[in-house]
Amino acid sequence: MRALSTDPQTRLVTLVGPGGIGKTRLAVELVAAVAPEFASVATVDLDQLSAASQVPPAIAAALGVPETPGIALLDALVGAVDAHRVLLLLDSFEHVVDAAPVIAELVTRTSGLTVLVTSREPLHLSGEHVFEVPALGLPDWSDSTDHARHCDAVALFADRAEAAGAHLRLDDAEVRTIAEICRRLDGLPLAIELAAPRTRMLELDDLLRRLEDSFDMFAPGARDLPSRQRTLHSTIAWSYDLLDQADQLLFTHLGVFAGSFRLEAAEAICGADPAAPVFDGISSLVDKALLRPDHSVHGEPRFAMLQVVREFATGRLTDAGEADDLRQRHAEYFRQQTLDVGAAVAGHPRIRPLVQLCVADHDNFRAALQWFLATGDTDSAVRMGLAIWPVLFTQGLATDVEDAMERVLGSGPGLPEGTRAHARLVLGMMAFLRGDYARAADVLPAAHERFARQDAEREAATASVALGLMRVPADPADGERQLSGAVDTFRRLGDPWYLSFALCALGSARVTMHRADDAIAPLEEGERYAAEMEDDALLSNGLVALGRAHLGQGDFAAAGREIGDALHRAVRFGSRETIPRALDALAAVAERTGDTDRAATLFGAALGVRGVLGSDVWGIDRESHAETAERLRSDLGDEPYRRLTTQGASLALDDVLEL
C-alpha cells in the first residue's frame, strides 16, 4: 500500500470495501506514513455532501484554492497543484460517484497530484488502482491460544473491551470464545468495536449466544463517528439506499442464502424477472461491496454476504412479505442438490468434490433442513439426510443432520413408518461416526429390523456395519459375522463407496480383536477403493487402522508411514475427528520405538485437539488409547507424563506436524 501511494506512476488509489471494514482508518494511517514525501496533504470528508456537483468546491476548500470569477474551478485546481507533489484523500466517495470524471481530469491534467479515495465501490477510471480492504485476521481452530490472542480481530476485541472497563483473563477458554465472536462478526472492525463494550454487562458466552440471534443488541457507537457508522444497521442502510431499484430487489432476495452461493443457485432461486439479469445484478452488488467473491471452492465462482449485511437483507425480505416464498424455493433447490449428491454416491463417485460442495453449502443445507422441519415436511428433511450422510464423515454438517433426525423422530406418532426407519438409520449412522455408540444402539436395531423384513438390502447392510463394529467388544464372532455379511451384500450390489466403508470397518474390527494378519487384506482393499473414489475421510481413517495393524505385526516403519500419511491427509482436507485418532496412533508407534518424550507430546496434542473440538475418543479406539496412556505413564512416570502431555496439548497444529 505504501508503494502504491509513493510510486510516481501510481496516481489514483481507491480503497474499497463494505461499511465498517476500516477503509477510513487505513487511509488515515497510510497518509500519515507517506506525508513526508509530499509537499502538502489535504483531506476531504465527503460524508456530508449531497450531490456530485459539490465535490470540486469541497476539494478547492481543502486545498485552499479560492473561486475566482472568470476562471473555471477545475482550471484553478489544476493550476494550483500542477507544480507540486500533493496527496489528496477523498473519504466516502460512494454516494458522489458521479463526480469520478472530475477526479480523472484532475489526475490527467496534473503531474504531481496523487489521489487516495475510500469508497464502497471502485470509481472505474483509467489508471485507477483498486485495493480491496480485507477484514481483520481471524485465528484458525487449530491455532495455539497465544497465536489466537495476537490475531488482529481478537486483539481489537480485547482492546475495546478493556477500554470500556471489562476485565478479561484471556485464558484458553476466553480466547476461544472471543475468536468465535469475531468469526460471527466476519472480522469486521466496526462490528467488533460495537460488540466488545457489551462485555461490561455480559459474559462472553452470553454475548456469543445473543449474536447467534441478532446484531440488534448493539448500542450506538462513539458519538464522534459519522452518523452512518453509529450502528451496524445505519452502516448497511447507507449502502442499500445508494442502489437502484433492481439492485435493491436482488440484494433483498439474496438474503435468503444462509452462506455462500453459486451464480446458478442465485439464478434459479432469485431470477424471476428476465428484465433484470441476475449476473448483472451480482456484478453491481460486488462492485458496491454488498457482496463479496468467495473462493472456498477452487474453480467455482461463488458469492457471499457478510453476516451483518445478510441480516439487513433478510429484514428487508421479511418486511416485503416475500420471505416464505423465497425460503421454500431455496429449500427445494438445496433438497435437490442433496439428492444429486446421494445419487452420485450410489454410483461410481468422486467423493472429494461432493464433500467440497457440502462444506461450501453447509449453511444453505442447514437452512433447508430447518425450513422443512418448521413447515412440517419431515419427509424432505429425512430424504436430505439419507442422501448426504455418507459424505458428512467428520464434517460439521453432520451435527445439523443428526439434530434434524432427532426432531423428526420426536415429531409425534403420525410419522410414517418408512420415514421413521430412515430417520433412525441416518441418526444412528451419524451417532456411530462421531463415537456415540449408546445413541446409535438405541435407534439402529429397530431400523435394521424393518429394512431386513422389507428386503431393503442396502439399508439393512448399512445398519449392520455400525451394529457389527459396536458388537465386536462383547461378541467378536457375532460382530465379525455382521460386518462380513455387509461386505458380501455391498459387493453383490456393486456399491463401491458402501463396500469400501464396510471393508474398512471389518479390518478395523479385526485390529481391535488383535488379529492384525487378518485385518490387512480388507483394509488394503478398502483403501484402494477409497483412493479411487477420492474419499479422503475414509482413506485417512483406513490408513490409521492399517497403520495399527502393521504396528501389531511389529512393522514400525510401515505403521509410522501410513499413520503419518493419514494425519497429513486429515489436516489437508479438514477431517478434524481423524486428526486426534492419527496423533494417538503415532504416539503408540513412537512409544513402541522408544521415543517416549515425542510419544507423550503427540498423545497430549491429541488431547488438545479433542478439547478444542469437544469430541471424545472413538469407541473402537478406547482400548488402544488407554493402553498407550498406561504404557507412557509407566515409561515416564506421572510427573514427566503430565508435563509432556500438557505441553503437547498447548501446541498449534502446525507445530505438532513438525514433531
In whole angstroms, what is the distance from residue 642 CA to residue 585 CA? 19
> Do the Cβ atoms of 627 and 538 come closer than 8 Å?
no
Phi-psi region of 574 (alpha: psi -120 to 50; beta: other; left: phi over 0): left
pLDDT digit string, tens, across residues 207-228: 998 887 665 555 444 545 555 5
The residue that leads in pLDDT, 537 or 232, is 537
Among the residue ranges 93-97, 387-391, 617-621, the one predicted with the least confidence is: 617-621
> Do the Cβ atoms of 490 and 500 come closer than 8 Å?
no
Residues 6+ apart with CB under 8 A from 501: 390, 465, 490, 526, 538
User: Which residue is it, cell 419427509?
Assistant: 379
In whole angstroms, what is the distance from residue 490 CA to residue 500 CA? 9
- The pTM of the full predicted model, rounded to 2 decimals, is 0.83
| Exposure string for 606-622, b = 16+ CB within 10 A, e = fewer | bbbbbebeebebbbbbe
Among the residue ranges 171-185, 375-389, 605-619, the one predicted with the least confidence is: 605-619
In whole angstroms, what is the distance from residue 439 CA to residue 424 CA? 10
SS in 3 state form for 471-508? Answer: HCCCCHHHHHHHHHHHHHHHHHHCCHHHHHHHHHHHHH
Confidence category of residue 419, pLDDT binned at 50, 70, 90? very high
| Exposure string for 344-373, b = 16+ CB within 10 A, e = fewer | bbbeebebbbbbbbbbbbbbbbbbbbbbbb
pLDDT digit string, tens, across residues 430-482: 999 887 889 999 999 999 999 999 999 999 999 999 999 999 999 999 999 99
How high is the pLDDT of residue 259?
A: 87
Strand order in 128-132's β-sheet? 40-45, 86-91, 113-119, 12-16, 128-132
Give the three cell numbers for residue 371.
Answer: 425450513
| Exposure string for 19-40, b = 16+ CB within 10 A, e = fewer | bbbbbbebbeebbeebeeebee
In whole angstroms, what is the distance from residue 196 CA to residue 111 CA? 45
Confidence category of residue 194, pLDDT binned at 50, 70, 90? confident
How high is the pLDDT of residue 215?
A: 58
In whole angstroms, what is the distance from residue 112 CA to residue 115 CA? 10
pLDDT at 535 over 60: yes
In whole angstroms, what is the distance from residue 133 CA to residue 119 CA? 10
User: Which residue is it, cell 486428526?
Assistant: 579
Q: Which amino acid is at 28?
A: V
In whole angstroms, what is the distance from residue 294 CA to residue 512 CA? 43
How high is the pLDDT of residue 441?
A: 95
In whole angstroms, what is the distance from residue 504 CA to residue 530 CA? 9
In whole angstroms, what is the distance from residue 64 CA to residue 12 CA? 21
Confidence category of residue 250, pLDDT binned at 50, 70, 90? very high
pLDDT at 38 over 60: yes
Identify which of 187, 203, 186 has the alpha carbon closest to the alpha carbon of residue 155: 187
Identify which of 238, 247, 123, 251 has the alpha carbon closest to the alpha carbon of residue 190: 238
In whole angstroms, what is the distance from residue 325 CA to residue 264 CA? 18
The pLDDT of 47-76, averaged and rounded, is: 90
- The full DSSP string for 606-650 is HHHHHHHHT----GGGHHHHHHHHHHHHHHH-HHHHHHHHHHHHT
In whole angstroms, what is the distance from residue 180 CA to residue 453 CA? 47
The residue that leads in pLDDT, 576 or 223, is 576
Give the three cell numbers for residue 474.
Answer: 462383547
Sign of CA dihedral 495, 498, 501, 502: negative
- The full DSSP string for 223-279 is TTS-GGGSSHHHHHHHHHHTS-HHHHHHHHHHTT-SS-EEHHHHHHHH---TTS-HH
Give the max Cα distance, the chain. Answer: 103
Task: For 113, list phi and psi in degrees, rounded to 5.
Answer: -85, 130
Residues 6+ apart with CB under 8 A from 291: 254, 282, 285, 303, 304, 305
Among the residue ranges 367-381, 564-578, 598-612, the one predicted with the least confidence is: 564-578
How high is the pLDDT of residue 231?
A: 65
In whole angstroms, what is the distance from residue 479 CA to residue 477 CA? 5
How high is the pLDDT of residue 50?
A: 86
User: Which residue is it, cell 504404557?
Assistant: 631
Task: For 303, list phi and psi in degrees, rounded to 5.
Answer: -135, 155
Identify which of 169, 179, 168, 163 has the alpha carbon closest to the alpha carbon of residue 221: 163
pLDDT at 110 over 70: yes
